[in-house]
Amino acid sequence: MTESSQRSGPRSGFTRRAFLKGSSAVAAATALTTEQAEAQAAQAKIAKGEQSIRLTVNGKPRAVKVEPRTTLLEVLRQQLDLTGAKPVSTDGSSGASTVLLNGKPVMASTTLAITCRGKSVTTVEGVDNTVPKAFVAADAQQCGFCTPGFVVAVKAFLDKNPNASEAQIRSGLNGNICRCGTYANVIDAAVSVVKGGGNG
């Protein structure tokens, strides 16, 4: 066998390229395993993360138990038996779960209860009679699923804009949906409150 044929013969199979490829694969697999472990640990922490928090609901201090994933709507309905806010849409697009959080309207279905620690929550059950009476006088409800959210939204909007025009009211309530189509009556109810006729 000549020297040239020895040089062109088969190699051992261990090359720098193969080594680098193997090292990269091991590093990627290790990183993936670490990420999976961290994700599983985070899920376990959430699953075991129940804790007690205090908040004020309709003027009364309340203690509730929540996990990080528990919504305010779940707390209100399942722990405090306040069923006015409705679970019509999980993304809050219907407005049926509207409540006041420190005086500002939020969707209880998309608000994590743990973020409400130490805050004040007002549900439709805690709203004074002015807006509800106006709704009754204007016949502004049918099936009733949207009504609590509308009542709270109207109260919040008119508290901030007590002299609102009809056009402003229409714009201010565009986050609430009525599947029965009682929009005209809801607007009439809100306008009557502005005019001082909410005591009907």
Q: Are 69 and 43 in contact (CB under 8 A)?
A: no
Q: Are 153 and 193 in contact (CB under 8 A)?
A: no
| Tens digit of each residue's pLDDT (9 = 90 or more) over 34-66 | 776 666 555 545 545 789 999 999 999 999 999
Residue 148 pLDDT more than 60?
Answer: yes
pLDDT at res. 136: 95
pLDDT at res. 10: 54
pLDDT at res. 200: 41
Q: At what angle do helices 183-194 and 147-160 cross, to 10 degrees?
A: 30
- Output the six-digit token pair for 70: 């528990």
| Tens digit of each residue's pLDDT (9 = 90 or more) over 3-14 | 555 555 555 566
Question: Radius of gyration over alpha carbons of the chain, in Å?
Answer: 30
Torsion angles phi and psi, residue 3, rounded to 5: -65, -35
Q: What angle do CA 54, 59, 123 make, to 5 degrees?
A: 90
Residue ranges and CATH numbers for the domains of the chain are: 51-125 (3.10.20.30), 127-194 (1.10.150.120)
Can you tell me the distance from the alpha carbon of 101 to that of 112, in angstroms, rounded to the nearest whole number?
12
HSE-up (13 A, CA, CB side) for residue 110: 13
